[in-house]
Structure 1
Amino acid sequence: MSQYIKLGDDQFPIQLDPHGDNGAFKVIGDCVWAKAEDEITPDFLRSRIEPWLTALFQSEHLNLLVGAGLSSAVQESATGQKPQGMGWIQDLKVCKLEIDAYVEKTAKAAGRDKGNIEDQIRSINELIKGLEILVALNPLPIVPPPPPNPPYRYFPTELNLLKEELSRCLRQFAESVSNGEKSIRDARPDKKIETFNYLVNFLMSFSSRTATRDRLHIFTTNYDRIIETGAELAGLRLIDRFVGSIAPIFRSSRLEVDYHYNPPGIRGEPRYLEGVARFTKLHGSLDWFATEGVIRRFGLPFGATSVEPFLQAESTGTANYQQLMIYPNSVKDRETSEYPYVELFRDLASATCRPNSTLITYGYSFGDEHINRVLKDMLTIPSTHIVIIAYGDPLGRILSFIKESGRRAQISLLLGNHFGELKILVDYYLPKAAIDRSSIRMAELLKSRGLYPATFKSKSGGEE
């Protein structure tokens, strides 16, 4: 499989093809730092990639956007199997032909060959909105008149059936997300421990920033709780918009709440606590639900067999899946116009579209136009930079985004099954924050003792 790399001084993505059986690559096309006959080893690539990422990670503002690729990587690493798809509702009871046709149309508009359950949920929800308008203007009896009138013209009946179908689709979708967590939870202990260790190192590579820098802000389009679980294992404190202990409530206020500590012997000068990051789930979460006019987070264990008992406990004994805040509307802009999604996307725009900001994407396929629009606006600020890390680009969205953005100098790319593999990425290319700080101090000490030339520079390129 071909790999693509583009760093700071590369004009275009450079293609690397496998060369030999030792994991090396060869350059395809023009390249200023290698010739066609050169053998490009992972160690050589590390010498180019790791210092560049280390410097970018010390930008004034650092953001991480995580897509479904991380969940797939963790699940495959823990279980040894490819993750199952999100499924498809085959037996829709009402307006099946219309919904299937609309799903196919919107999927093609998004650059995909076929739709999925996310598209079905979006289409059913939009159809419900339309039928509610028709029912309000044309109240008809619940019991339809006899044939030959077409049955889908009796809007009250169709509206009730569609609402039932929406609940059924949301239930199946929630179960597919929960089953993904469960497969990781039930994995072989040694594989699970190894996988979560890599996940912890992945998260800490981004979150271990000096106290003079702004906090890392993690954004994700995923509905599962893999990032939250990894943060717990890493001891990483996540700050989000939820406030409370029993059933935290989503708050609209953006107070700059943070963690500080008082170092020994110093009074009145608190310092930032290490291991803290801000966290935003752009498309909702498996454990968010709407009740009594607020959004709450309920205590759903990682890998729970079913969400239904917890929904029943939080309501009046009946599990209403329409209360779950998982609205996978990847084509239309529902998220940018309805609560709480308007608040979440405001966080994304305010965190990324500011000077001296770096955004790293991992496992994000660039299939959400409302997110891509924010990223394009971010690139209009000259001091910003985007680093794209992905396992593959089957639909060509990533390369199209780079080409259409017109800001190639502000984009770095690591694309392919080599760069996108979680274990290889952590072992070779991501900065090791703790080691890097120690090496910088060691270099400064050796320099002060005259053991290094005066022109020595640390590989991070940033201030300590």
Structure 2
Amino acid sequence: MISIGDIYDKDINFLFGSGASYGLLPTLRLGITREAGGDSCTLEELATQFEKEKDSRLIPLFMHYYASCIRPAEVLSIAATAATEEGRQVIENYRIFLSTVLAMLQRRKPLDRRCNIFTTNYDGCFPLAADEILQRGHIDFVLNDGTRGFSKRILQARNFSTFLCETGVFGRHQSSIPQINLIHLHGSVYWSKSDGGIHVEYNASEHQPLLSAADLLRLQPFSETLESAEAVLDGLEDPGFTPEELTEFWTRYEQIPIVNPTKWKFHETVYEEHYYQMLRLLSYELEKPNAVLITFGFSFADEHILNLVMRSLSNPGLQVFVCCFNQADQEALSDKFKGHRNVRCLALDEGFLDFTAFNKKVLAWPSTTRAVALGAAQEATAAPLTPDASAPAENMA
């Protein structure tokens, strides 16, 4: 359990990974294994292996990634999320989380109502959930995506340092409107290059798909094998696209402003400068005297971010809470952060720490105030969290 009363007045940062959007969009974990009975592979692992070995299945692997993750993110909408119970629950989880954060910010000093959400996701779940909250009209706030402009919104790193302030009629008092900075570390499907800058347009559903219906049909057996827990890597057959078809897809795919899930992430995109600026921003925030970092749905497979967080742990004022999906993940991450007394790896005693459990049992107001803070009818019941057995309770690392 993370005590909101202990952290609400600190410099709070969140780091979200693909686990937060699971149910709408897949994670990087596949079903296929390298050998029968082995652990399932991740897309990152296979992409790195295929690239190193010059395997002909590399581009088809990214075709699968585009079809299963990127294109669905481009066409994401409230109507699309409402089509399934899982989709509705995902957006509701985002809404509850944002409402909790805003309630925390409301308790802070009048000119200090800001926090940062860093995310490696490409999707628009945060903007969709924020729109829902704003439309209900219960609270005024700013979701700052770093853009400025009217007909054309341009992303610039310096915009994350600004905030909106309101004053009384005669200027005798002022306070900042609660603000959440939304910082995409791996890019977004809503970005495009424009005159040397980054243009943000949330109507990405109008983008022409890179794969036709016929392409998807040919790719289907390949994708089904990747997702099958019964499949092994030797049985993954090349879908048989021609070299010309692969080249055409890859040329267009490289124009998408995202960081690919491979070990050579920062070597293939014109958006490299902005990515490094955002990493520097994360590093700067974690060096503040009372910094807090809460991670969710993030495995720390990204070596750039892992190394950055590791370096920041020398800051004695930094507190890091790593939310682990299950106890196996907790053991692995506890070992990764072994020796750092300012890291706590959290997992539930029973069950999985998914987004719903995170909202109810980890980052939740006491039951007496939760309904008021979030406008929710149900109470949040806290379940015990399992600390790392190798560390004291106050140092789950």
Task: Say yes or no: TM over 0.5.
Answer: yes
Please state how far the C-alpha of 1:278 moved relative to its aligned partner. 0.7
Query: Match for 1:295 among 195, 198, 219?
Result: 198
Paired amino acid for 2:180: A
Q: Assess if the C-alpha contact under 8 Å between 1:356 and 1:383 holds in 2.
A: yes
Paired amino acid for 1:179: P
* Structure 1 CA distance for aligned equivalents of residues 363 and 144 of structure 2: 24
Please state how far the C-alpha of 1:437 moved relative to its aligned partner. 9.5
Where does the alignment leave 5 or more consecutive residues of structure 2 unmatched? 135-140, 211-248, 374-397
Q: Assess if the C-alpha contact under 8 Å between 1:122 and 1:327 holds in 2.
A: no
Residue aligning to 2:129: 230
Please state how far the C-alpha of 1:320 moved relative to its aligned partner. 3.3
Query: Match for 1:70 among 20, 29, 40?
Result: 20
* Structure 2 CA distance for aligned equivalents of residues 379 and 169 of structure 1: 36
Note the aligned Cα RMSD (angstroms). 4.1
* Structure 2 CA distance for aligned equivalents of residues 62 and 84 of structure 1: 25
* Structure 1 CA distance for aligned equivalents of residues 132 and 160 of structure 2: 26
Paired amino acid for 1:215: R
Q: Assess if the C-alpha contact under 8 Å between 1:392 and 1:415 holds in 2.
A: yes
- What SS does the aligned partner of 2:301 have? coil
Paired amino acid for 1:231: A
Where does the alignment leave 5 or more consecutive residues of structure 1 unmatched? 1-48, 77-82, 89-103, 105-111, 128-151, 153-160, 311-317, 441-464
Distance 1:187 1:123, change over 3 A: same
1:66-97: CA deviation from partner (whole Å, max 9, x where unpaired): 0111011x538xxxxxx476779xxxxxxxxx
Please state how far the C-alpha of 1:170 moved relative to its aligned partner. 5.6
Please state how far the C-alpha of 1:234 moved relative to its aligned partner. 2.2
Residue aligning to 2:65: 173
Residue 334 of structure 2 is aligned to residue 399 of structure 1? yes
Which of these two proteins has the greater Rg computed from alpha carbons? 1
Please state how far the C-alpha of 1:291 moved relative to its aligned partner. 4.0
Distance 1:183 1:386, change over 3 A: same
Please state how far the C-alpha of 1:379 moved relative to its aligned partner. 1.6
Q: Assess if the C-alpha contact under 8 Å between 2:8 and 2:108 holds in 1.
A: no
- What SS does the aligned partner of 1:284 have? coil
Once the two structures are superposed, the pairs formed by residues 359-374 of structure 1 within 5 Å of their partners are 359-374=293-308
Q: Assess if the C-alpha contact under 8 Å between 1:291 and 1:323 holds in 2.
A: no
- What SS does the aligned partner of 1:261 have? strand
Q: Assess if the C-alpha contact under 8 Å between 2:160 and 2:181 holds in 1.
A: no
* Structure 2 CA distance for aligned equivalents of residues 172 and 308 of structure 1: 17
Query: Match for 1:413 among 327, 335, 345?
Result: 345
Q: Assess if the C-alpha contact under 8 Å between 2:24 and 2:86 holds in 1.
A: no
Q: Assess if the C-alpha contact under 8 Å between 2:157 and 2:278 holds in 1.
A: no
Please state how far the C-alpha of 1:237 moved relative to its aligned partner. 2.2
Please state how far the C-alpha of 1:368 moved relative to its aligned partner. 1.2
1:94-131: CA deviation from partner (whole Å, max 9, x where unpaired): xxxxxxxxxx9xxxxxxx8645268538975x99xxxx
- What SS does the aligned partner of 1:386 have? strand
Residue aligning to 2:359: 426
Distance 1:421 1:327, change over 3 A: closer
Q: Assess if the C-alpha contact under 8 Å between 1:60 and 1:357 holds in 2.
A: yes
1:339-369: CA deviation from partner (whole Å, max 9, x where unpaired): 2211111111111222101110011111112
Distance 1:171 1:113, change over 3 A: closer
- What SS does the aligned partner of 1:420 have? coil
Residue aligning to 2:183: 280
Residue aligning to 1:461: none
Once the two structures are superposed, the pairs formed by residues 96-245 of structure 1 within 5 Å of their partners are 114=41, 116=43, 120=47, 172-177=64-69, 178-179=71-72, 185=80, 187-188=82-83, 192-208=87-103, 209=105, 210-212=107-109, 213=112, 215-235=114-134, 236-245=141-150
Q: Assess if the C-alpha contact under 8 Å between 2:291 and 2:317 holds in 1.
A: yes
Paired residues, number: 312
Paired amino acid for 2:24: Q
Distance 1:113 1:309, change over 3 A: closer
Residue aligning to 1:327: 259
Q: Assess if the C-alpha contact under 8 Å between 2:122 and 2:188 holds in 1.
A: yes
Please state how far the C-alpha of 1:381 moved relative to its aligned partner. 1.2
Paired amino acid for 2:347: L
The share of aligned pairs that are identical, in percent, is: 20
Distance 1:249 1:54, change over 3 A: same
Residue aligning to 1:308: 208
Distance 1:290 1:321, change over 3 A: farther
Q: Assess if the C-alpha contact under 8 Å between 1:121 and 1:328 holds in 2.
A: no
Paired amino acid for 1:75: L
Query: Match for 1:377 among 299, 306, 311?
Result: 311
Q: Assess if the C-alpha contact under 8 Å between 2:120 and 2:184 holds in 1.
A: yes
Residue aligning to 2:165: 260
Distance 1:118 1:277, change over 3 A: farther
* Structure 2 CA distance for aligned equivalents of residues 379 and 439 of structure 1: 35
Question: Which range is displaced more, 328-337 or 375-384?
Answer: 328-337
Paired amino acid for 1:375: V
Paired amino acid for 2:263: V
Please state how far the C-alpha of 1:277 moved relative to its aligned partner. 0.5
Distance 1:183 1:60, change over 3 A: closer
Distance 1:118 1:326, change over 3 A: farther
